[in-house]
A and B are shown apart, each in its own frame.
Chain A
Amino acid sequence: MFTRPLLLSSKLELTRCFKFPQNGMSQYPSYYIKPIYSNDKQTDLIKSGEAQKLAHVPTRAALNDQTSSIYHDDLICLLVNYLMKDGNKLLARDLVEKTMEKIKRVQLEKYHKLANEEEKEKVVLNPRAIIHQAITNVKPILQLTPIKRGGVTYQVPVPITDRRSQFLSMKWLIEAGNEKERTVRFYDQFAYELIDAANNTGRAVKKKQDLHKQCEMNRAYAHYRWS
């Protein structure tokens, strides 16, 4: 009988003491810190003595794609998430892994074709390096925003945040991978696109250049951003 009011009071106390995070859906109170799952970072913390301090701070559980594997790569996890449809992460991850396999096969074929030892060394065989390079190459530095001035909507070039440009880059790469014959596998096409983009050619890079060209053409409207 008397447990109920007790519970209620403690709940009230909680609401008074702590500010809940803005995202009301989070199951963690705001004072929970994010987990440090990378092996390197952990060793650094232990060396500097920070780990002792963090040992008793309440910590969130790691997400299921945050592992201490030596092959963990934040950017590629993000790519998997952007590729994912309907929460089917298994498929998305599988596609990215198969893409990396295809990249390796294509690059190794190039490698074996070359006779010269020096030229062989220049072929990039690391699929992760190629993906990173491709994403950097496709990142735009400006984008167009519609702004209404005097009843007319102008496409105004505006600077872009790094995160947005990274998102656009990956989006365009994935779109380029999807533009294919029905009989071609996505991961094969995606691999070719990534290799092309890493060499600064291909459809995704073309898209970036087109956007830059459009921005250049609309430079006269640039002042609409602030006036």
Chain B
Amino acid sequence: MLNSLVRRSLLRKVPVQPIILPVAHLSLETQPLERLQSFRTSENNPLNHSDDHIGQFYTIPSEHKKKLFLYGGLPRSYDTQTKTFNESCLMIRKPSVDVINCLRHVDYSKPAVRFILYGKKGQGKSLSLAHIIHYGYSAGFLIVHVPWVGGWLRRCQESSISEFKPGCIDTNLDAAAWLVHFKHQNSHLLDNPDLRTTQDHVWSKRESTPKDVPLGELVDHGINRIKFASQCIVVLAEEIKQLSREGKCKTLVVVDGFNGFFYPNTRILTEKKEVVHPKNVTVTEAFLNLSRFDWKNGAAVVTVDELAIAEKDHISHFPRYLLGRDGFEHMDPFVPVAVPTYTKLEFTSCMDYYRERRWVLPLDGQDEELQFLSAMNPYRLMLLCNSV
């Protein structure tokens, strides 16, 4: 209740302009009826998605999918579904449309706005995020996307002691993999001649990245010299902020499982087998830096997810609990966006989609039964439909 109030009051500040549609769209009275009948929209460009499309499925073009989600970003169960369905479709849902609407109308000369998506497990936070990333890509944002923080802090591949900051731990393999991901997602923007480093960066006695070289070179250095990958991310974050401040690019920071950065029990251990607090992991600094509001021409959309922390602490799904005091104060003020269960319309649309894809065979009373069994939870519905 309180959250929705806060959210509404925060949303009200954003000037909402009516979206101007071609006359043909407005004059048709049959539009709502048509909408009810169809669970699919041919509008595959997320720039044009609005409240009218809620509950409908749109197809992510395969080249966009390859570009954005080749190195992660879509849940694995969703990936298997797309393989079976022979296409990758996403449902346009209220939370992502809300965020997209805000991103469209936000004043980018003001400090960066932060959104936090929250909701119970399996209600579609990650897929809402995927929709927002697709919007960011189409709108020409520089995308800084972390597919899953839990992957770094709870299942990191290796760790070593940082050379740059005493007492810090590097996770270089993961960091290098992320740099590859970042480079792949933004390859079209990194060619931009405006994006140049603003400072000298000295890596060691012999290696340094001078001022005024393309940003791509900095990223390449991190990939080629895996030893410096973590520090490279920290530097890159600062460079991106600086470039955004100067108005050379618009940046969208997207982090899934952001609360992982504030959860004290990571699975990274020091040489003495002591648990490392996330604030002592080098990459954390970079993304905490990017999620501050001391810059402009940028926005951050993050999710807080119970799955990013240890199972024994899955107590509440609300941001205050998951972020803890430090995290909450770090993010405050932010726009909380609840990702709820399916509405009746979304549920029917989802079932229609499954039926059209021949995943579920039509049967009387099917919708009603599945509705009760799944409690309208998208993930649980998917699991139930697997064996139906």
- Residue ranges of A at the interface with B (Cβ–Cβ < 8 Å): 69-71, 96-98, 100-101, 104-105, 108-109, 111-112, 125-127
Contacts and interface: CB of A to CB of B under 8 A. Distances in A.
21 contacts: A69-B369, A70-B363, A70-B364, A70-B365, A70-B366, A97-B386, A97-B387, A98-B386, A98-B387, A100-B386, A100-B387, A100-B388, A104-B84, A104-B359, A104-B386, A108-B357, A108-B358, A112-B86, A125-B358, A125-B361, A126-B361
B98 to A, nearest CB: 34
Interface of B: 80, 84-86, 357-359, 361, 363-366, 369, 386-388
Nearest to B366: A70
Given A97-B387, A105-B84, A70 B369 contact: yes
Given A70-B363, A70-B364, A70-B369, A111 B358 contact: yes
Nearest to A39: B365
Contacts, number: 35
Nearest to A101: B386
Given A70-B369, A100-B387, A108 B363 contact: no
Contacts of A108: 84-85, 357-359
Question: Looking at chain B's contact residues, is the secondary structure mostly helix, strand, loop, or mixed?
Answer: loop
Contacts of A105: 80, 84
Residue among B85, B86, B364, B386 with the most chain A CB within 10 A?
B386
Nearest to A93: B387
Nearest to B360: A104
The 5 closest A-B pairs by CB, nearest first: A97-B387, A101-B386, A100-B387, A112-B86, A105-B84
A224 to B, nearest CB: 47
Contacts of A96: 387
Contacts of B358: 108, 111, 125
Contacts of B364: 70
Contact of A71 (B85, B86, B388): B388
A104 B85 CA distance: 11
B321 to A, nearest CB: 30
A101 B387 contact: yes
Nearest to A94: B387
Contacts of A98: 386-387
A70 B290 CA distance: 51
A110 B2 CA distance: 51
A124 to B, nearest CB: 10
Q: Output the residue of A100, A104, A126 with the most chain B CB within 10 A.
A: A104
Nearest to A68: B369
Nearest to A107: B358
A97 B387 CA distance: 5
B197 to A, nearest CB: 48
A18 to B, nearest CB: 40
A216 B305 CA distance: 65
A111 B361 CA distance: 14
Nearest to A76: B387
Contacts of B366: 70
A96 B364 CA distance: 23
A175 B48 CA distance: 55
Contacts of B359: 104, 108
A44 to B, nearest CB: 16
Contacts of A71: 369, 388
Given A104-B359, A108-B84, A108-B85, 5 more contacts: A71-B388, A96-B387, A97-B387, A104-B386, A109-B84
A125 B357 CA distance: 11
B77 to A, nearest CB: 11
Nearest to B388: A71
Contacts of A104: 84, 359, 386
Contacts of A100: 386-388
B362 to A, nearest CB: 11
B373 to A, nearest CB: 8
A188 B388 CA distance: 17
Contacts of A127: 387
A186 to B, nearest CB: 15
A112 B366 CA distance: 25
A104 B369 CA distance: 20
Contacts of A97: 386-387
A108 B80 CA distance: 12
A126 B361 CA distance: 7
Contacts of B388: 71, 100
A113 to B, nearest CB: 10
> Which of the listed residues B80, B86, B358 has the most CB atoms from chain A within 10 Å of its own CB?
B358
Contacts of B84: 104-105, 108-109
B30 to A, nearest CB: 29
A174 to B, nearest CB: 18
Nearest to A112: B86
B103 to A, nearest CB: 36
Contacts of A112: 86
A100 B365 CA distance: 20
A56 to B, nearest CB: 29
Contacts of B363: 70
